Structure 1
C-alpha cells in the first residue's frame, strides 16, 4: 500500500465557509415560508372557530326559535344612578350581556353556562345571582374566564388588564344610533317610545341591542348578510383599531364616520398621532374597557362592529369623558384582525368568508342612517351608502350583491 493511499483529505477553511454561507442562505429563504405556514395554520384555526360559532348560532335558533340576544340578560333597577346601562351592579347585569354568553352551551361550553345560569358563591363571601353581575366585575369567575373558542390564535393579547378576551363580535349593521342601549331606557324594564323608533331606524344589522332577532328578519338572504366578524384585542400600544379616540360630542361621529381620521399618525397609519394619546377612550373608561377585553359584555366596543368604515380602520367614539353613562357614548367600530390584508366574517348561513381591507365601501363622507335625517342624508330604509361592505351588514335593505366573496 502506497503512502498516497494512506492520506486522508479534510475540508479546507474556504470550503467550510462556502457551506456555512449556503446554509445561511437556505435558512433565510425558508424562515419566511415557515412563518407564513404558521400564520396559515393559525388563520385556518380561526376560521374553524368561527364555523363552530356559526353552527352554535344555528343550533340555538333551532332550539329557541330566535337568535341569542346582544345586550340581553337581567335588569330592573328602578331609579337613580344605579339604573344606568353602564356602571356596576351586584344584583343584575343591567342588560349588558353579549350574545356569546347565551351561545356557550351550543359551542361545547356547557360547564361555564351552568355556572352563569345559577347563583354562584365564589368562596370569598360573594354570592352572585343567576346570569351574574355586570361584566366588569373581576370577582365573578365566568367573566374573567378566557374561552379558547372565542379567541383567534393570531391575536397575541393575553392577561391583565383584560378580563376574558374575545376576537369574535356581533354585526350591528351600517349605523350607530342606540348601539349601546337599544330601545330600553334607564329603568331597564321596558322600551322607551323614542328610543325604540331610533333603534328600529338605525340598528339594521342581524343583531339589535336588547331585542330578540330571528332568521326570518334577514330579508336580504342569509348567504348575503354578515352575522358576526373578527375584532382584535387591545395590546396597550395606541393602535387605532383597539383604543378609540374620544371626541367631546356624540353628534360629531353621528354626522361623520371620518371624524377621527385626521388624528391618525400619517407616518404610522396603524397608530394614533402622539398628540392625541391622552384623548383615547380606553384610558378614559377604565382598565377593562379595551377593545375585546370583555367577552361577556354586549357593548359595541367590547363585542360588536359595524360595516361603515372598511376593515382594520380606526375606532372613533363620541361622548364627554366625564359622562359616566355608557348610553351617552356612541361610536364607530369596524371589524379588524391580525391576519394579513383582511378579516374573517361569519355569514348568516354559517359560511365563513375572508373580506379584504380594500372591499368597496361606498361614500365614506355620507352620514350614517338616523331617524332624524332628511334627504339627501341617509334616511331610514335607504340603501346603505357604504357600498358592498355596508350592504353586507344590513339584513333587510334589498341591496343586490353582485360579487362572489
Structure 2
C-alpha cells in the first residue's frame, strides 16, 4: 500500500501553481525595477554633480594661478569655450597642448584637440553614447553668461556692438577675464556652470534640446520668453540649431554657454543678431545641477522662482531674493 502510494505521488508543479509562481515573480520584479532604476539614476546624477564640482575646482585653481577668472568665450575669431583654458587644471595637459588658441575650434589646426572626448565633460544621465558627429568631442556642461539676452561682447572690446544692451553680467563672460572680487553678490550666490543635453545634430524638426528661432527681436528677457513660447515647434521657418554640445572646444549658445533668462528645463531661443538665451536643462528628474563660484554644487529644481534664478545668474546685481537657493 505504501509502495503504491509512493509510486502515485505527484512530483513537480501543476500548471496553475507554476503560473502563480510566475505571477509572484513578475510582481516582485515590477516592485523592484523602479527602485533599481532610481538607484542607478541617483548614481548617475551624483557623477554628474562630481563632474561639475571638478569644473568649479578647475576654475578656482585657474583664478589662483592667474588672479583672473577664465573668459567664457575667447576674444577674436578663435571664439573658443572656457574649457580649453581649464584643461591644465583638470589633468588634461596633453589635450591642452594640442590646441591652437589663435584659430577657431573647427579649424584644421584643432582637428586632434576637438576630437578628444573629455570624460569630465559628459553627464552619464544623457543617453547620447557618443558624439553624433565623427571627430567632435561633446560637452554636457555650460558656463554662466548671466541673466541677459545678449550674445555679444563686452562694450570694452573694440569693434563689438551690444545692440543697445548692457554687457553680459555673469561670472564667465565673452572676451573678458574678470577678477573674482568683481563677484560682489558673493561666490556662493552666483552660478558658474550648469548642464544641458547633447543635441541630435540633425537640424531637422527641432526637439527639446535644440534652440529655436522666433524671427523677431525682443527688447527684454521677459519679451524673449514670450516670443520663444509663442512659436510652433513644427514650423520649419522657426527651426534653430540642433548641433548642441559639440564640439566642446567651440563656444556659443549651442556649445559652451547658458543664460539665467528663464528657469531650468525650458525652451531655448535665439534672435540674431546679438540676442539669445539658452536655458540650463538636464535628463535628471525635476531639475539641474549647478556649480557656484565657490566651487560647491547644488541641485536646483525646475520649479525655482524666476526672480531668484535670475539673481543667481548675476555677479554684481545686488539682488536679495534667492528663494530656493541654499545659502
Matched, 1:2 2:21: no
Q: Following TM superposition, by how much is the alpha carbon of 1:27 offset from its aligned partner in structure 2, in angstroms?
A: 1.3
Counterpart selection for 1:392 from 274, 296, 312: 312
In 2: Cα distance, 1:404 partner to 1:61 partner: 24
Alignment partner of 1:244 is 2:224: no
Aligned equivalent of 2:92 = 109
Name the residue aligned to 1:318.
271
Q: CA deviation at 1:5?
A: 4.6
Q: Equivalents in 2 of 1:101, 1:71: separation in Å?
A: 10
- 2:115 maps to 1:144: yes
The equivalent residue for 1:262 is 230
Q: TM-score, normalised by structure 2?
A: 0.88
- Closer, same or farther: CA 95–137 of 1 in aligned 2, 3 Å: closer
Q: Which residue of 1 aligns with 2:52?
A: 50
Question: Runs of 5+ in structure 1 lacking a partner?
Answer: 76-93, 117-129, 185-189, 265-271, 283-288, 320-327, 362-386
Cα pair distance change 1:234/1:403, threshold 3 Å:
closer
Instruction: Answer yes or no: is 1:159 the counterpart of 2:159.
Output: no
Match of 1:297 in 2: 250
Q: Distance in 1 between matches of 2:126 and 2:208?
A: 13
Aligned pairs (5 A) from 1:171-186: 171-177=144-150, 179-183=151-155
Shift of 1:137: 3.8
| 1:335 equivalent in structure 2 | 280
Provide the C-alpha distance between the structure 2 equivalents of 1:308 and 1:182, rounded to a whole number of angstroms: 18
CA deviations on 1:6-34 (whole Å, 9 max, x unpaired) are 64632222111111111111112222111
The CA distance in 2 between the partners of 1:195 and 1:209, in whole Å, is 13
2:161 is the alignment partner of 1:195 = yes
- Report if aligned partners of 1:250, 1:317 keep a CA contact under 8 Å in 2: no
Q: Which residue of 1 aligns with 2:192?
A: 227
Distance (whole Å) between structure 2 residues aligned to residue 15 and residue 59 of structure 1: 65
Contact 2:231 2:238 in 1 (8 A): no
- Indicate how the Cα distance of structure 1 residues 350 and 210 shifts in structure 2: closer, same or farther if over 3 A, else same: same
Cα deviation, 1:130-170, whole Å, max 9, x if unaligned, reads 32631234771211222111010111223233722111101
Tell me if the contact between 2:215 and 2:271 (Cα under 8 Å) persists in the aligned partners. yes
1:206–1:218 CA contact under 8 A, matched in 2: yes
Q: 1:332 to 1:340 in 2, by over 3 A?
A: same
Q: Residue 79 of structure 2 aligns to a residue in which SS? A: coil
CA distance in 2, matches of 1:213, 1:198: 22
Kept in 2, the 8 Å contact 1:252–1:318? The answer is no
Residues 278, 161 of structure 1: alpha-carbon distance in 2 compared, 3 angstrom cutoff: farther
Does the CA contact (< 8 Å) of 2:188 and 2:293 recur in 1? yes
Deviations 1:169-213 (Å, cap 9, x if unpaired)? Answer: 011111022x243347xxxxx524x737967x2411111210001
Q: TM-score, normalised by structure 1?
A: 0.72
Residues 191 and 132 of structure 1, relative CA distance in 2, 3 Å threshold: closer
The structural deviation recorded for 1:305 is 0.9
2:36 to 14, 34, 42: 34
Unaligned runs of 5+ in 2: none
Residue 317 of structure 1: how far off its partner (Å): 1.2
Tell me how far 1:115 sits from its aligned partner.
Answer: 1.4
Select which of 206, 209, 214 maps to 2:171: 206
> CA contact under 8 A between 1:344 and 1:354: conserved in structure 2?
yes
Deviation at 1:252, TM superposition (A): 6.6
Aligned-CA RMSD value: 2.5
CA distance in 2, matches of 1:358, 1:403: 9
Q: Provide the rounded CA distance (Å) in 2 between the counterparts of 1:279 and 1:360.
A: 28
Q: Is the 8 A contact 1:242 1:290 kept in 2?
A: no
Shift in Å at residue 393 of structure 1?
A: 0.4
Query: Could you tell me how far apart the structure 2 residues matched to 1:301 and 1:182 are?
Result: 19
**Structure 1: which 4+ aligned runs deviate by more than 6 Å?**
none
